[in-house]
């Protein structure tokens, strides 16, 4: 549990063990109310601003430790099964997607700059 909490903290995931009856009362009337059926037995609740972060941390930890089992999740008001949470965990995180987008946006610019530099060198060689 200590390793899971540390990994969750690193990734900005809020991780807590709470009483299920208290959580059922807290989610009544919210988009998480549909998860009330899944709130049975000892549970760890994970919440994050990045929807992929919580799923990634729990799925990765569940692979290493057979005692941890993902039961369900919620994204954008929709209840996710354990398989759907695994699919969500396979999506790259927000930071990864932003870095890939930045790379794709920079590639044409850097290619154009290299072409201009080569053209300038060619012109200088012709002039000399």
pLDDT tens sequence across 18-28? 898 999 999 89
Structural domain range at position 46: 2-90
Number of other residues whose CB lies within 10 A of the CB of residue 89 = 21
Q: Hey, what are 82's tokens?
A: 């354990």
Q: What are phi and psi of 77, to 5 degrees?
A: 80, 0
Nearest residue to 48 via CA among 82, 99, 85: 85
- Per-residue confidence (pLDDT) for residue 25, from 0 to 100: 92
pLDDT for 3 beyond 80 = yes
The CA distances from residue 69 to 45, 50, 96, in Å, are: 12, 21, 26
Q: Are residues 67 and 16 in the same domain?
A: yes
Q: Are residues 83 and 112 in the same domain?
A: no
Q: Are residues 121 and 59 in the same domain?
A: no
Mean pLDDT of 99-128: 84
Q: Are residues 86 and 100 in the same domain?
A: no
Q: Are residues 46 and 33 in the same domain?
A: yes
Q: What are phi and psi of 48, to 5 degrees?
A: -150, 155
Q: Are residues 34 and 55 in the same domain?
A: yes
Q: Are residues 25 and 55 in the same domain?
A: yes
Q: Are residues 112 and 84 in the same domain?
A: no
State how far the Cα of 106 lies from the Cα of 117, in Å rounded to an integer.
16
Q: Are residues 46 and 59 in the same domain?
A: yes
Q: Are residues 21 and 56 in the same domain?
A: yes
Q: Are residues 48 and 102 in the same domain?
A: no
CATH number at residue 62: 3.30.70.1730
pLDDT for 122 beyond 80 = yes
At 115, is the pLDDT very low, low, confident or very high (cuts 50, 70, 90)? confident
12-37 burial: b if 16+ Cβ within 10 Å, else e: ebebeeeeeeebeeebeeeebeebee
pLDDT tens sequence across 52-109? 888 889 888 888 888 888 888 888 888 888 899 888 888 887 778 888 888 888 888 8
Q: What is the domain count for the chain?
A: 2
Mean pLDDT of 114-120: 86
The fraction of the chain above a pLDDT of 70, given in percent, is 99
């Amino acid at each position: 549990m200590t390793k899971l909490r540390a990994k969750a903290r690193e990734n900005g995931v809020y991780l807590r063990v709470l009483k299920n009856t208290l959580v059922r009362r807290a989610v009544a009337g919210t988009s998480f109310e549909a998860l009330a059926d899944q709130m049975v037995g000892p549970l760890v609740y994970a919440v994050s601003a990045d929807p992929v972060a919580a799923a990634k941390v729990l799925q990765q930890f569940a692979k290493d430790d057979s005692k941890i089992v993902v039961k369900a999740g919620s994204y954008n008001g929709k209840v996710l099964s354990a398989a759907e949470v695994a699919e969500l965990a396979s999506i790259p995180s927000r930071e990864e997607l932003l870095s890939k987008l930045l790379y794709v946006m920079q590639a044409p610019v850097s290619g154009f700059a290299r072409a201009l530099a080569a053209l300038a060198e060619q012109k200088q060689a012709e002039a000399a």
